[in-house]
């Protein structure tokens, strides 16, 4: 036991269960049903955190391409805008798929929650 966390605090950390919810129209009618279809073809060997990081990498790469194509406020070519939009679409889709994969594999962990929300925060920067 650490000097910073009491025995009761350690027990609460170990037994914590995240129970998120989403009542948004787009999630319930577009993103979640799309992820439900995609998860059917995702291999069970793919770790949820791998899906999370893959989505962030796609988003980062398409963002870098967009910035390089339109530096210092210049107009970026249309293809780079479309590519970035597609990258954001893939990122958001994979962000929904990773959670469904974690629940499908009974592999929801505090680390996974940190990875998911951490990548979401980085993706917004």
**What is the spatial distance between Cα 86 and Cα 69, in angstroms, rounded to a whole number?**
16
Q: What is the mean pLDDT of each run of 10 residues along the chain (125 residues)?
A: 79 79 85 94 93 93 92 87 95 91 87 83 81
Q: What is the pTM of this model?
A: 0.76
pLDDT at residue 72 in the model: 81
| Residue 38 CB neighbour total at 10 angstroms | 15
Residue 2: its pLDDT value, please?
55
Cβ proximity of 105 and 44 under 8 Å: yes
Domain boundaries defined on the chain: 49-125
- Residues assigned a catalytic role: 117
Is the four-CA dihedral 44, 113, 28, 91 of positive or negative sign? negative
Predicted pLDDT of residue 94: 93
């Amino acid at each position: 036991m650490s000097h910073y966390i009491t025995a009761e605090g350690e027990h609460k950390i170990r037994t914590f269960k995240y129970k998120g919810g989403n009542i948004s129209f787009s999630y319930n009618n577009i993103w979640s049903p799309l992820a439900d279809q995609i998860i059917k073809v995702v291999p069970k060997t793919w770790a949820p955190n791998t899906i999370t990081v893959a989505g962030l990498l796609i988003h980062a790469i398409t963002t870098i391409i967009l910035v390089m194509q339109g530096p210092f406020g210049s107009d970026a070519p249309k293809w780079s805008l479309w590519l970035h939009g597609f990258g954001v679409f893939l990122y958001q889709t994979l962000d929904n798929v990773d959670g469904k994969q974690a629940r499908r594999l009974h592999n929801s962990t505090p680390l996974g929650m940190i990875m998911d929300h951490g990548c979401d925060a980085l993706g917004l920067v």
